[in-house]
């Protein structure tokens, strides 16, 4: 006898499949609601760092976000942040 957890059993009865539901196309990012503002911000101020964007997001929209979340948001939109020489100088200063 095989025991099947409730949600899997229900999925089998409803769909005839044990496969998990796809979450493709769905975003759980709390930054999604600030998408236009964030994209506009880096368009207007392309030299911002992730830390500066994180701070502005908190100050202007009361939205907490980790640096990883901010990075992933921009990565999904094909925007990358490059380290500059001034970043290296700050590390050694």
**Residues 44-90: tens digit of each pLDDT:** 999 899 999 999 999 999 999 999 999 999 999 999 877 665 554 55
What is the residue range of 69's domain?
Answer: 34-80
Say how many domains are in the chain: 1
Helix (H) or strand (E) holding 69: helix 67-76
Rounded to two decimals, the pTM is: 0.62
The tokens of 63 are what?
Answer: 């939205």
Domain assignment of residue 46, yes or no: yes
Domain assignment of residue 61, yes or no: yes
Domain assignment of residue 59, yes or no: yes
If 0-12 CB within 10 Å is exposed, 13-18 middle and 19+ buried, where does residue 65 land?
buried
The tokens of 34 are what?
Answer: 């600030």
């Amino acid at each position: 006898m095989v025991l099947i957890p409730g949600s899997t059993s229900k999925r089998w009865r409803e769909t005839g499949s044990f496969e998990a539901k796809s979450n493709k196309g769905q975003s759980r990012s709390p930054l999604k609601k600030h998408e236009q503002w964030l994209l506009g911000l880096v368009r207007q101020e392309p030299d911002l760092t992730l830390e500066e964007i994180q701070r502005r997001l908190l100050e202007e929209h009361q939205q907490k976000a980790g640096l990883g979340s901010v990075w992933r948001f921009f990565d999904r939109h094909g925007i990358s942040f490059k380290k500059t020489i001034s970043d290296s100088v700050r590390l050694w200063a």
